[in-house]
Amino acid sequence: MTINAEVLAQPLLDHRALDLNAAERVTYVLEQEFHYGYDEPIGALRHRLVVVPRERHGDQHRRAHRVAASGAQVRRRSRRDAHGNVVVQMRADRVEEGVRFSVAALLERVRADGPTVLAATALRDPRLLRPTRLTAPDDRLRDLAADLLRAGGTPLELAERICHVVHEAVRYEHDVTSVETTAAEALAGGRGVCQDSAHVMIALCRLAGVPARYVSGHLLGEGGTHGWVEVVVASGDAAVAVPFDPCNDRRAGAQYITVATGRDYADVPPTSGSYLGTPNSTLTTSRRVGVLEAA
């Protein structure tokens, strides 16, 4: 399967009219652009993009993709980070007015290929159990985790309760938090976006001894990128990653496209970088994501 203008021009299906979770196969298209503009030439651009879904994540397969840059002479290199994510590094010695980064991908979900299976060692992975700066606990988080643990149950049942409690405790609201807001701050404020809900859930899961990681990706029907959580539970001689979206108080299903996973958001921001020159820059983004076929 290749990506060309004809494929990208195909109309998207109305995903709201489809039972995607019951479909045997679903084909998605993802297009995303980031344009950085500068009021004078800049130099030594070093940019990092985490926007390409990995080749396989459980039942989600990347069938084709392309990454491009325009507006400057850009050198590009792709690698995998410590979490297995695709990281595209862009470098330019000089940018006159602006630079545009774009990604297009065709993805397919094959229901029979799920869930996301991990080695049993993931259940003891310190990266999924230790706090980070963004998920560091305070007394309120510790007390809440203790209350949740007292109810007992399996790790998966505990994760279900944590998801619901976080949804009730953090009301969705734009422009009240930032990418630097910690789980403790988001819980104390009681407001935030999907990233904040995910950090609170991760903090509580780790306090309760349930391995958890941050997921960066897309939710069909939303205007921007989305963040949720995967908890890791035992399954026979291995482990599986079970996705939860505390922002929407549900398990994440076929409406979600996974791009990357990490300890928290700081591991997987879609776009980040540095340059030398004017502090005056603008970022304009666009995104198109949806369903091409469902069977």
86-95: per-residue pLDDT in tens? 999 999 999 9
Share in percent of the chain as helix, strand, coil (round to 5): 25, 45, 30
The region of weakest confidence among 67-71, 162-166, 219-223, 259-263 is 219-223
pLDDT, average across residues 33-44: 97
Q: How many Å apart are CA 26 and CA 4, to the nearest integer? A: 19
123-137: per-residue pLDDT in tens? 999 999 999 999 999
Residue 14: band (very low, low, confident or very high) from pLDDT cuts 50, 70, 90: very high
Residue 44: band (very low, low, confident or very high) from pLDDT cuts 50, 70, 90: very high
Is the link from the previous residue into 115 a cis peptide, with omega within 30 of 0?
Answer: yes
64-88: per-residue pLDDT in tens? 999 999 999 999 999 999 999 999 9
The reported pTM is 0.96
Q: Determine whether 103 is exposed, middle or buried from the number of CB atoms within 10 Å of its CB (0-12, 13-18, 19+).
A: buried
- Of 153, 251, 245, 168, the closest CA to residue 202 belongs to 245
Residue pair 29/62 in contact (Cβ under 8 Å)? The answer is no
How far out from the chain centre does Cα 244 lie?
12
Q: How many Å apart are CA 135 and CA 149, to the nearest integer? A: 18
- Of 43, 33, 44, 39, the closest CA to residue 97 belongs to 39
Q: How many Å apart are CA 260 and CA 54, to the nearest integer? A: 7
Beta bridge pairs of residue 260: 216
